[in-house]
């Protein structure tokens, strides 16, 4: 994409030889917006990012994996500031327009020697063609890079959006629950970009869960270079841009859940027929977070009682005698009555698929919502038991 360059290298932060240091560089100051974790324990880059984003401009984002730089006190903040300064000096750009994101183990100090030697090398690798390297450099327990490139049209002018994300564990919708970067060449104001990003996040990253844990480092950042001729400056054009960024964010969020630690199945829970929007969200979220539901999905057991029970404890208004429950198009419960062994056998076959839709109709109103989640397997326990060893 014009206006942006990317790079990713192995700087030695990780001991396994994988890429661990990445950089996004904007050819000119890009309009910037960001959302951060709602956890009260936050990493040094988040503390600094919340201040820097007030300028609404960005020239570079330095991101590392293997070390979260969290719970590192004032030294952690000083180290993050020093990293930004090294980038600024090497690129001859203002330090205050350099952002930093980190992901990895909590509590360990940044290995500053790796950054001091790695950043100059990283900068030599900057290229429009090195997006894959950046995407790889931010991974932790992820098994796949998460990249999406889309082109859209406003008033006959094309614009592009590129999304890059990492996330596989410690995923819960209390902001964005991962690191994600949205780069676009559209011309848009900082205020409109922030509004669009918040709306997109609400429909995507706020509607996913893997394990119910909120990270300390979550950052969702959008950068707009304005290098295309497309402009989002009135109601119609901003609406088009909103749909575009919604699509990109949802696809990234979906990639994250599909790559959940130890996951074997991607599940979408749809709650409809709720009396209020709040009820639809409560029921969706509670079902998606339920460990009993997640383990039943992994075991391919159509244990529908776990789903209806989760809805019942969610705080949403429910009437058991009115509930309908479907796996894809297969009904399992209608008007609160189980449809029997034959329906369970058909449902069990559907549960062998790697992607499943579950629909719970409360039949109490017209409101609906949806959540994406994955199953729990033995591999999830193994990954997290051995994460630091």
Active site residue ranges: 177
Helix (H) or strand (E) holding 248: helix 235-258
DSSP-derived 3-state class of residue 258: helix
Strands (E), 206-294: 208-209, 219-224, 231-232, 266-274
DSSP per-residue codes, 72-128? -HHHHHHHHHHHHHHHHHHHTS-GGGEEEEEES-SSPPP-HHHHHHHHHHHHHT-BT
Chain-centroid distance, C-alpha 323? 32
Gap between the Cα atoms of 13 and 256, Å rounded: 23
- Residue 153, beta-bridge partner list: 158
Dihedral of alpha carbons 159, 53, 242, 210, sign: positive
Q: Is the dihedral of CA 61, 66, 71, 77 positive or negative?
A: negative
The residues pairing with 331 across neighbouring beta strands, listed in sequence order, are: 326
What residues contact residue 63 under an 8 Å CB cut-off, 6+ apart? Answer: 21, 22, 23, 24, 100, 101, 102, 103, 134, 137, 138, 179, 181
Q: What is the dihedral of CA 124, 128, 134, 135, to 10 degrees?
A: -170
Is the Cα torsion angle 15, 256, 205, 3 positive or negative in sign? positive
């Amino acid at each position: 994409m014009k206006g942006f360059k990317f790079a990713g290298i192995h700087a030695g932060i990780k001991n396994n030889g994988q890429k661990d240091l990445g950089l996004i560089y904007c050819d000119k100051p890009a309009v910037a917006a960001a959302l951060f974790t709602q956890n009260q324990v936050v990493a040094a880059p988040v503390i600094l990012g919340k201040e820097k984003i007030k300028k609404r401009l960005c020239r570079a984002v330095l991101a590392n994996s293997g070390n979260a730089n969290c719970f590192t006190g004032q030294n952690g903040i000083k180290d993050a500031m020093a990293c930004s300064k090294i980038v600024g000096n090497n690129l001859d750009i203002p330090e205050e327009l350099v952002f930093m994101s980190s992901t990895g183990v909590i509590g360990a100090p940044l290995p500053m020697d790796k950054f001091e030697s790695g950043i100059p090398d990283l900068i030599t690798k900057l290229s429009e063609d090195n997006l894959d390297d950046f995407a790889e450099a931010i991974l932790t327990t992820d098994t796949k890079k998460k990249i999406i490139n889309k082109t859209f049209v406003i008033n006959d002018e094309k614009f592009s959006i590129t999304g890059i994300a990492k996330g596989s564990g410690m995923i819960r919708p209390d902001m964005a629950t991962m690191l994600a970067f949205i780069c676009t060449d559209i011309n848009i104001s900082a205020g409109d970009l922030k509004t669009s990003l918040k709306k997109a996040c609400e429909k995507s990253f706020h509607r996913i869960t893997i394990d119910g844990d909120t990270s300390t480092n979550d950052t969702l950042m959008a950068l707009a270079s304005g290098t295309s001729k497309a402009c989002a400056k009135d109601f119609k054009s901003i609406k088009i841009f909103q749909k575009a960024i919604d699509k990109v964010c949802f696809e990234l969020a979906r990639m994250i859940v599909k790559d959940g630690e130890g996951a074997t199945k991607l599940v979408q829970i749809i709650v409809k027929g709720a009396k209020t929007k709040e009820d639809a969200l409560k029921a969706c979220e509670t079902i998606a977070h339920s460990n009993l539901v997640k383990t039943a999905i992994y075991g391919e057991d159509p244990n529908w009682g776990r789903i209806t029970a989760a809805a019942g404890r969610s705080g949403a208004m429910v009437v058991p005698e009115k509930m309908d429950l479907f796996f894809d198009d297969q009904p399992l419960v209608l008007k609160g009555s189980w449809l029997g062994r034959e329906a369970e056998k058909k449902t069990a076959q559907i549960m062998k698929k790697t992607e499943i839709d579950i629909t719970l109709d409360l039949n109490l109103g017209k409101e609906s919502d949806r959540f994406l989640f994955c199953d729990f397997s033995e591999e999830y326990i193994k990954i997290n038991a051995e994460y630091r060893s």
